[in-house]
Structure formats: C-alpha cells, structure tokens
Amino acid sequence: MTLSFIPNFICIVRIMLIIPIVFLLWNQDYLLSLLLIAIAGLSDFLDGFLAKRNNWRSELGAMLDPTADKLLLVSLFITLYKMNLIPYWLTVSVIMRDAMIIFGLSLYRYFIGKPKLVPSQISKVNTFIQIIFVLLVIGGEIFEILFIPTVIFGSTVFVTSILSGLDYWIRWSFEAKKRINLNGV
C-alpha cells in the first residue's frame, strides 16, 4: 500500500476545516478560529513538504492545494465582510480576482489546451498579504484595537489582487498567442 495519498488527504481535511473556522469566526470565537486557521496553514506546509520530499505529487494534488487555499481565503473574506469587519470593495476585489483567474483558465483550457499553472511572484505576494491581512483583522478583534498595518495591508491586498489578476490574463494571453502561432492556427 502506498502512502502517496497523504498530501491529498491533508488538503481535503484543510477544506473541511473551513466550516468550523467560519462558524467560530461568525460566533466571534476569534481565538479558536485563529487556532484552526493556524492548523490549516501548517497543513498547507505539511502537504507540500510531503509531496515534494517523497515525490508524491499528483494532478489531483496540484488542483486541490490551491483550491483549498482559495476556498479558505474567500470564505474568510466573505465572513469578515458579513461581520462588518472589512469593506465591501476589498471583498469584491479578492473574489473578482479569483473569478477572473477561473474564467481565464476556463477560456484557455477550452480554446488552447491545458495551461501551465505556475503561480507568479505577484500572485504569491497577493496570497501572503491576504493571509496577513485576515490575521490582523481577527487579531484586532481579539485585542479590540484597529492596527494601522491592517489599513496598509488592506490597501495592499486591493492593489496586488488587481495586479495579480491582470498578470495571469497577460501571461496566458501571450502563452495562447505563442501556442496558436506554433500550431499554425
């Protein structure tokens, strides 16, 4: 029996953690929700480490890992917005970025073929800034203060969301043009 399923199983558990995280957050149990978010973060590190170290990479894992991350972040942004802890425009920018990427990916797959899903540096920065922002917002509720960095990180999330979404569309457009030219279409 092979253990190569473990990273995918960890991703599925991370997806399942979204429900209790959102429930706890909604019920203003900020400390416990932060603890579960930390567990989700550690599981993200662990599944990636195991997949790389043991060569347990799979197509399913390549799809599950970013999906788990995005589902958690989007769920957190929507919940924090519904709790009036973050503004509407910021929540929409995060969701629209992901929607643009999924729509662009769908177009690319339909018309061109399977794209190389390599996250860009701006995309990695965007995800990192989103995580820090969410942690600052929740932490601000625990300590009942508004951190000035929260405002700065919120603005940075907005800018990097736009830049990251555009980056994907531009890179895939150039890649599509290159592939079309190579195939003589």
Structure tokens that stand for 147 in this block: 């951190």
* Cβ atoms of residues 22 and 40 within 8 Å: no
pLDDT by residue (tens digit) across 71-95? 999 999 999 999 999 999 999 999 9
**Domain range list for the chain:** 1-64, 86-185
Interatomic CA distance for residues 102 and 66, integer angstroms: 12
- Average pLDDT of the residues in 146-159: 86
Dihedral of the alpha carbons of 146, 121, 98, 179, in degrees to the nearest 10: 170
pTM of this prediction? 0.89
End-to-end CA distance of the chain: 46
Predicted pLDDT at 184? 59
